[in-house]
Amino acid sequence: MRTLIDDPADARLDDIRDLKHSDSRGGLVYAEGPLICGRLVGSRFPLRCVIGFGGRLDSFLADYGAELPEGAPVYEVSRAVLAEVAGYDMHRGLLAVADRPEPHTVADVLGGARTVLILEGVGDHENIGSMFRNAAGMGVDGVLFGAGTADPLYRRSVRVSMGHVLRTPFAHLDGTATTWQRSLDQLREAGWRLVSLTPADNAEHLADALVDDAGQPWEKVALLVGGEGPGLTEHAMRATDIRARIPMAPGTDSLNVATSAAIAFYERQRSLR
């Protein structure tokens, strides 16, 4: 249901009012630009509205109009109106707003999965977004959150993930900073091989950690990565089966957490060739 709105004060635009200063107002989720709006359509996120310039809406509706929920509000605005409402010049000219769906359970994420990522203490929205992008690209089936991890549905995470955070299932493990690790036992009992990523010299080479003694890939692998700076807590690493490292030259810094995770995704996929 496409409507032209030319009054910046129109209440139907409240979802994006002063968006410049808002990352996650009231838990709303924002898809910005045609690619990410497209990934929102058909996802489990309930669409509230699509807002954009006329031309952008034309092409978006041509591609996805048939998949939109019946009666979904589509608001056409001018560049000036959008800039005034959102508080900045949104040159992409298209965004969609969604509510948060019922969270996935851990069982939802693990069901049918062969490879998952588990995060502890990752506080940077850009790193979280990158990890979802790379997870989707390299065959990781889902993401589980331990303690101390930032909201993956912040605008910046959604954007950097290229919308994959809307498609790749994720769930939070129960517990506090010192108790969530217990839930890893359930994974082990369900046949998951738990692999901690760490720069520590005495860890196994990543390639060796992802295969058994006969060189065969583990059936189900959970890759754990820790926050920028401190990495995984000792408590978390002790709850895993093995510590794996990406070898680093002496005198250099450990890799960015998203880069480390991407290399682990690659190695996991490689082990399954």
**Under rule CB under 8 A, residue 139 binds a second copy:** yes
SS3 assignment, position 139? coil
**Under rule CB under 8 A, residue 91 binds a second copy:** no
Give the CA count within 13 Å in the CB-facing half-sphere of 101. 16
CB 41, CB 65: distance < 8 Å: no
Which CB sits closer to a second copy, 21 or 205? Answer: 205
The distance in angstroms from the start CA to the end CA of the chain is 47
**Under rule CB under 8 A, residue 201 binds a second copy:** no
Question: Which of 164, 193, 243, 268 touches a second copy by CB under 8 A?
Answer: 164
Which CB sits closer to a second copy, 6 or 208? Answer: 208
**Under rule CB under 8 A, residue 262 binds a second copy:** yes
Question: Which of 44, 205, 212, 234 touches a second copy by CB under 8 A?
Answer: 205
Residues in contact with 227: Cβ distance below 8 Å, sequence separation at least 6, in sequence order: 120, 121, 122, 123, 148, 149, 257
Smallest distance, a second copy to C-beta of residue 45, A: 18
Smallest distance, a second copy to C-beta of residue 92, A: 16
Q: Which residues bind a second copy (CB under 8 A)?
A: 130, 133-134, 136-139, 162, 164, 205, 207, 246-249, 252-256, 258-259, 262-263, 266-267, 269-270, 273
